[in-house]
Structure 1
């Protein structure tokens, strides 16, 4: 009986205890250009069934992604490993915060099984921040990558990792597992870190991405930000320069959408023509691939984007060979 009561009390825990006493923020009405189809198709239901049968967590659900209907219709899901509770408390994020449970040692096999059942040619694996673990969960990432490789050798793997802040040697463990794409999001411009991403350090994140390329130049690197948090245009352009200095290949830019009244408010809905302008600037600065639209998210169209990245690299190598 005590166990049942304990479980019930856990279920009633606030999703974001650190935000519970903050004043409510206004929730702005979404403009016409931010509209998505509600999920519910038979293929969406099949993806949902496989995810639930394997007792997996997806960032699609936990973060309230607006593209879940479109992606799950295509049997594309972004798996969130190491539980559903994050040790950070970012002002923009809807993932539960608190002290996480112990790692599920069977999770790598469960993820690999779901990837095989969904028949994924490209999979995205992300995680909560696990500052409670000595390696930040690096070895667990490596085990998941290895399990997928063993069961689905033809599947390409994209990871979206935490920053492994103060976790010496963690990045090297993940890179050694050789994901095809290493993504780590800056999320916002440096002037907004104190209020938006207080547990992180902007230049540490930039250096993390640079270090991936130094360790293994064959791995594609990727990063993303949200706009509409009060940033200035010139700050976004400077962030692009910082990422290109770190040799990052792929940039995503999307509109921030406020999950609840306790989260950071939307300061502005950026119109589509400004996203197009950001895309033009990013390509001019040398990114190999750019996705900048109001509904762009890190793993949206990830498989198609990876194919474009690989084709771009092959074309560049062919051009360099012909010149020599």
Structure 2
């Protein structure tokens, strides 16, 4: 039986998690462009708490190949009950046009899991990157990709398009994978990041962890060490928030002081950047990577192995 104290701990958010509701006039222009071009954003689909701030700044994280997902992660607010549709060949064109119309300096392209596709959707990532390069060559590109079911040829295909940042979220600590990411694999996620560094050393690698699901401080630190062991450059840590009663509940609201302690620990480990706060999400302030590229420049090279054609 759940006590009244436990219910209050989960339901009542602390003051540091309260954000103002987004003002429609501030996000209207971005929303209009997205609707006009029939594009999805993870900002809307995943109920991100920073939507007002990011839309007001004229930034968005595009969600391709969706909105239906082939996995049913119990923490995620993206729809998994709808049947995934065939890839839309016009989606990359529309995305490129949106980046141009929004005049984005940095764009994040992510996707639902498409385990129904042989390459996990790698070819669609390639096409989207190519269209952004065509319309807005000065825009830096970050891709936030799924684990591709361990299809490393598919990973090579995405890297062949030369995104500046390859992001893949670890999401949580190993002990909580079975409950939180039942179709994921912690070792596979680390291997994806390791291979990215090996195949495309000029690419900045990035990962994210959500906390408040029952992990300990040491488990978070151990996961941070694991990420540095595969030379991950950038780390985001944010508070998990329960999207609805049917999703996993929040076990604990982590204090800002603890987030600061993890940031300092990550910096000591050698991450180029650690964004750690209650409202941090994978793409929060993602455009700051442009500053990192100036401070820690990397020359592009030729990949040792790339797919010769886009399927």
TM-score (norm 2): 0.91
The partner residue of 1:78 within 61, 68, 87 is: 61
Superposed, which structure 2 residues align to 1:174-213 within 5 Å? 174-213=158-197
2:58 aligned with 1:58: no
1:94-135 superposed Cα distances (whole Å, 9 cap, x missing partner): 000033111111000000000000000100000000000010
Contact 2:150–2:188 (CA under 8 A) maintained in structure 1: no
1:44-65 superposed Cα distances (whole Å, 9 cap, x missing partner): 1000000110000000000000
2:220 aligned with 1:251: no
CA distance in structure 1 between the partners assigned to 2:255 and 2:224 by the alignment: 19
**Where does residue 92 of structure 2 map in the other structure?**
108
Shift of 1:83: 1.4
**Where does residue 139 of structure 2 map in the other structure?**
155
**Where does residue 28 of structure 2 map in the other structure?**
45
Contact 2:169–2:209 (CA under 8 A) maintained in structure 1: yes
Shift of 1:167: 2.7
**Where does residue 29 of structure 1 map in the other structure?**
12
CA distance in structure 2 between the partners assigned to 1:62 and 1:95 by the alignment: 6
**Where does residue 233 of structure 1 map in the other structure?**
217
Question: What SS does the corresponding residue of 1:287 show, helix, strand or coil?
Answer: coil
Structure 1 range deviating more: 170-179 or 160-169: 160-169
**Where does residue 313 of structure 1 map in the other structure?**
296
Shift of 1:43: 3.8
Contact 2:143–2:167 (CA under 8 A) maintained in structure 1: yes
Shift of 1:41: 4.4
Contact 1:41–1:73 (CA under 8 A) maintained in structure 2: no
CA distance in structure 2 between the partners assigned to 1:138 and 1:285 by the alignment: 31
Question: What SS does the corresponding residue of 2:40 show, helix, strand or coil?
Answer: coil
Shift of 1:309: 1.6
Shift of 1:308: 2.7
Question: How many pairs are equivalent?
Answer: 291
Shift of 1:28: 1.7
2:186 aligned with 1:220: no
Question: What SS does the corresponding residue of 2:201 show, helix, strand or coil?
Answer: coil
Question: What SS does the corresponding residue of 1:171 show, helix, strand or coil?
Answer: helix
Contact 2:26–2:52 (CA under 8 A) maintained in structure 1: no
Q: 1:81 to 1:291 in 2, by over 3 A?
A: same
Unaligned runs of 5+ in 1: 1-24, 318-324
CA distance in structure 1 between the partners assigned to 2:100 and 2:290 by the alignment: 20
TM-score (norm 1): 0.88
**Where does residue 269 of structure 1 map in the other structure?**
253
Shift of 1:36: 1.3
CA distance in structure 2 between the partners assigned to 1:160 and 1:88 by the alignment: 16
**Where does residue 268 of structure 2 map in the other structure?**
284
The partner residue of 1:142 within 126, 132, 157 is: 126
CA distance in structure 2 between the partners assigned to 1:81 and 1:307 by the alignment: 23
Contact 2:140–2:290 (CA under 8 A) maintained in structure 1: no
CA distance in structure 2 between the partners assigned to 1:33 and 1:60 by the alignment: 20
The partner residue of 2:77 within 63, 84, 94 is: 94
Contact 2:159–2:200 (CA under 8 A) maintained in structure 1: yes
